[in-house]
């Protein structure tokens, strides 16, 4: 299990950080409840 920080989620949406897609597989990645509003805000 990987706990992803909001910075990783934000960077993953940018084309120059496409290599982060491998970290975002649903089976291995988790996001804390506090990171969701940080990313959306």
Tens-place pLDDT, residues 22-35? 778 777 788 899 98
What is the pTM (predicted TM-score) of this model?
A: 0.67
pLDDT at 23: 74
- The span from the CA of 5 to the CA of 18, in Å, is 16
Structure tokens at 34: 């506090």
3-state class of 26 per DSSP? Answer: coil
Return the bridge partners of 31, or none: 4
The pLDDT of residue 1 is 80
Q: What is the pLDDT of residue 16?
A: 95
- pLDDT tens digits for 5-25? 898 888 988 999 988 887 787
């Amino acid at each position: 299990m990987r706990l992803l920080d909001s910075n990783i989620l934000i960077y993953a949406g940018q084309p120059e950080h496409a290599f982060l897609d491998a970290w975002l597989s649903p089976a291995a990645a988790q996001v804390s409840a506090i990171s969701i509003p940080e990313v959306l805000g």
